[in-house]
Amino acid sequence: FYTFQIIGFCIDTILRNQPMPSFVDYMNFGSFFPAIVAGPIERRDGLLPQVQRMDLPLSSEDWQLGIPYVILGLFFKLVMADNIAVAFWSDYAGNNAWVVWLNNLLFTFRIYFDFAGYGLTAYGIARCLGITLRMNFISPYTAGNITEFWRRWHTSLTLWFRDYIYFSLGGSRTKRWALNILIVFTISGIWHGAGWKFIAWGCFHGCLTIGGTLFGDKIAKLTTWLRINTKAKSWELFQMTRTFLLCCFGRIFFRASSLSE
């Protein structure tokens, strides 16, 4: 998180010919402690101006806004994520398919409550200090498709890869746009961990995103027809369930100790 935040700062400063802040403001921007453990990865335009005008003493209004987020974040982490972790079987021994997929379902919820819990806690602590960070998770498991999921899951990382890697490769303006998407998700997999299982996870989500882009128009037409001829809520629930199950399937690459397993 240090590295990505500072890389983003350097790129924005050099390419946009922005003035250098004071050394103290730069250090506060690069090492803003609530966000270092698990994000969000803040940008120069978003965090630096707030750091520059940050002042003490802290106001009671900031505390009233921040403390509920800290409480919610601790609830996500300590009550939900940690208790779900206790329910895990130790491994995938026995090759019991029910155990494997139940473990995977539990892990899908655990990783959300764990990661989002850290993010909410960071957001709340920052608000107590008078700083507004990016909301890193926006109900990702209610997304209707994979592209929307990635707009809601770890939003700051998604935007970082989009702006500094995907756009630099040419984005969707080149004939090799599908390869660009695959490269970005492969790099995202490597960022999450060094191992083939993470690369496989990245390629899996890259292929889902490419498929959604290729068949987006047909899916949109089908969606319009189904909304007209079926109950809209039922179709939305189907989309959410489909996307959630695809994400759940991808989690097995994280949960397993190796690609062969």
192 is catalytic: yes
Per the residue annotation, which of 164, 192, 219, 240 is the catalytic one?
192
Whole-angstrom Cα distance, residue 15 to residue 225? 46
Catalytic residue ranges? 192
